[in-house]
A = this chain, B = another copy of it.
Amino acid sequence: MKKVCLVIGAGAGIGGSVGKKFALEGYHAALCRRSDAEGLNTLVEGIEKLGGSASGHLVNAVKEGAIESLVEEVEKIGPIDVVLFNLGAQIGNRSLDDTALKTFELGWQMACFGLFRLAKVLFPLMEARGGGTVLVTSATAAVRGNAGQHSHAAAMGGRRMLCQTLNAEYASRGIHIAHILIDGAVDAPDTLGKMLGPEMYAELRKTRGMEHDGLLLPEKMAETYFHVSQQHRSAWTHELDLRAFSDLAWWNHAP
């Protein structure tokens, strides 16, 4: 029985690419997303064509009991050894007036409460098996709050602290939690592409994506996600950043 890498938030960007990487390295990739069964099938079939093992799971993570059921379902395929928690709460910039209470709450439910619920149900299983890895895709909104990011930043900032409290309680018990700060635009048709529309997206890839790597390329990011999951327990990384060489770090301003 293969070890399982569960991807919560498996679009055509980071989620799909990391799932594929783990599948090619011998894991079963359980790919989970909220909607678009067709897109999910495409990901699964793409992996299977390359000789990997994968399954697709449509789940609305914020629904009560949904994450809990997902873990139960996937554990029947095999033991979940790695989870990529890839849910975000980025909804673009919205003023305080334009951010409804429901929106703010939903951001927290997805990005922060979702990870807490996952840990509650999964960590006992992982601990009983001697350990596991949780890779959390984060954003600079977890470390600084820009204008218009009320919902996103509050959710991500809370989640970063949660990653630290989980790490403080579970690292010594074998569970490796890595908080991965993505600092820049990812070349992802499902998110960035949809946000910008096809024309602006194509334009951005041409200009910012100088020689195709001025944007963060998901398949390259996946290399580091995988490396972190394989680190020996004497030398674990809890936090790291990823950005394109041509991009300014979030803490920098142009001179």
Contacts and interface: CB of A to CB of B under 8 A. Distances in A.
Interface of A: 93, 95-97, 101, 104-105, 108, 112-113, 116-117, 119-120, 123-124, 141-150, 153-172, 174, 176, 187, 212-217, 220-221, 223-224, 227, 231-255
A137 B170 CA distance: 26
Contacts of A116: 101, 104, 150, 154
Contact of A158 (B112, B165, B239): B112
Contacts of A171: 245-247
**Chain copies in complex:** 4
A145 B119 contact: no
A237 B179 CA distance: 13
A234 B217 contact: yes
A169 B96 contact: yes
Given A161-B154, A231-B224, A244 B236 contact: yes
22 contacts: A97-B120, A116-B150, A144-B251, A150-B165, A153-B161, A153-B165, A158-B161, A168-B252, A187-B234, A213-B233, A213-B234, A216-B235, A220-B232, A223-B232, A233-B246, A236-B244, A236-B245, A237-B242, A238-B243, A239-B239, A239-B241, A240-B240
Nearest to A170: B96
A159 B154 contact: yes
Contacts of A172: 245-247
A109 to B, nearest CB: 9
Given A216-B234, A250-B253, 18 more contacts: A96-B123, A96-B166, A96-B170, A108-B158, A144-B251, A145-B161, A145-B162, A145-B167, A150-B166, A154-B158, A168-B248, A216-B235, A217-B232, A217-B234, A217-B235, A236-B245, A238-B243, A251-B251
A146 B168 contact: yes
Contacts of A238: 241, 243, 249
B161 A157 contact: yes
A146 to B, nearest CB: 5
A246 B172 CA distance: 4
Contacts of A153: 161-162, 164-165
